[in-house]
Copies of this chain bind each other. A is one copy, B any other.
Amino acid sequence: MADTADPRTEPVDPADWSCPVPLRDHPVVVMGHGGGGALSAELVEHLFVPAYGNEALAGLRDSAEVALGGARLAFSTDSYVVRPLFFPGGGIGDLAVNGTVNDLAMSGARAAFLSCAFIVEEGTEMSVVRRVAQAIGTAAAAADVEVVTGDTKVVEAGHGDGVYVNTAGIGLIPEGVDIRPHRAAPGDVVIVSGPVGQHGVAILSVREGLEFGAEVCSDTAPLGGLVQAMLAVTPDLHALRDPTRGGLAAALNEIAAASGTGVVLSERALPVPEAVASACGFLGLDPLYVANEGRLVAFVPREHADAVLAAMHAHPQGTEAAVIGECVADHPGTVVARTALGGTRVVDLPLGEQLPRIC
């Protein structure tokens, strides 16, 4: 190999974070390539898109939109490798259902059918597999989606980690709905559906055995119903994103980059639960970069913002929805936060994920 530097041990210059590192500088895959930040985007852009020869993949959406037999479908997949398998508020089974249901919901689609594939490590207790499967069944019922096809593979001990789950999902996109990152525009109001940072902190607390006063539970939840309630106000939602890996910072940066709009956040408006804030302070994490698994961020035309916010407040998944910012014509493609002290700071796309294997 021409470049034998080990990128796992090389320090990363923070100045490079907003500028994807050329893929050729990574002779091997590092944890950050799975983090949903700049390294993941680079892998898609420089490796998968050229290999598949499919520009649709480069659309940076949570799901693909495809036409089949006259139906307009959303189609999405995610693998789940979260560690540990169970945590306060849920487990890998909940994530596997809600994560894919939510990816479909971010294009306005109502999830209809899921596939579900397990890769199980030899020697895993059968009771663990059953507990994961039962959580999938319960979560699917709650999200009103059916698991209709599946697969199980077993790998030798030392080549897995208990259970990895993949789900793919399909759903119908309603007529007249066109929700895409590219559609965000100056004037849009930015709304988050609830408190941020809970999932990441919940994982970290159980993984590291830390306590932060009150127990923090994952926010894992299906968002299809909330999106339908928002669409009932207006089909003209511009962009939706569930801020999972990379947190709000990644979601907002992706939409800013795709649409070329500037985004201004108000840090004071950001709903951060006290326990999350205290955990982040203790650990040196920024809540903007912590993963959520049951929240969405919406870019809504100003004239519809009040009514959409009211509809969100009326839905169980949106009772704490809040306006957190707006789109501006200034600094196109860049996300800026107004700090509580009145200053501003640039909110960059993260390079990887602060916490590996968060979902």
**Chain A interface residues toward B at CB < 8 A:** 1, 8, 23, 26-35, 40, 43-44, 47-48, 51-54, 56-57, 63-64, 66, 68-73, 75-81, 112-113, 115-127, 129-130, 133-134, 136-137, 140-141, 146-156, 158-161, 164, 166, 168, 170-172, 356-357
Contact = CB atoms under 8 A, between A and B. Distances in A.
A156 B159 CA distance: 10
A269 to B, nearest CB: 31
How many copies of this kind of chain does the complex include? Answer: 2
Contacts of A118: 79
A99 B244 CA distance: 30
A129 B47 contact: yes
A147 B57 contact: yes
* Interface-centre pick from A1, A150, A158 (highest chain B CB count, 10 A): A150
A212 B7 CA distance: 42
A147 B77 contact: no
Contact of A34 (B26, B48, B130, B152): B152
A106 to B, nearest CB: 12
B29 A126 contact: yes
Nearest to A65: B148
Contacts of A122: 8, 28-31
Contacts of A124: 28-29
B172 A69 contact: yes
19 contacts: A27-B127, A32-B154, A33-B154, A34-B154, A35-B154, A51-B136, A52-B116, A52-B136, A64-B113, A64-B149, A66-B113, A68-B172, A77-B150, A80-B153, A81-B153, A153-B357, A155-B161, A160-B160, A164-B164
A68 B113 contact: yes
B117 A152 contact: no
Given A73-B170, A79-B151, A28 B125 contact: yes
A170 B35 CA distance: 28
A159 B120 CA distance: 11
Nearest to A159: B161
Given A64-B148, A119-B164, 11 more contacts: A26-B126, A29-B121, A48-B150, A51-B133, A52-B147, A54-B137, A54-B146, A57-B148, A75-B149, A79-B118, A79-B153
Chain A residues touching B, majority SS? mixed
* Interface-centre pick from A129, A168, A170 (highest chain B CB count, 10 A): A168
Contacts of A34: 120, 152-155
Given A53-B141, A77-B166, A44 B154 contact: no
Among all A-B residue pairs, the 7 with the closest Cβ atoms: A69-B71, A34-B154, A168-B168, A77-B115, A51-B133, A64-B148, A64-B149
A117 B29 contact: no
Contact of A75 (B29, B35, B148): B148
Nearest to A120: B29
Nearest to A172: B69
Contact of A120 (B33, B73, B153, B160): B33
Contacts of A117: 77-79, 166, 168
A138 to B, nearest CB: 9
B29 A147 contact: no
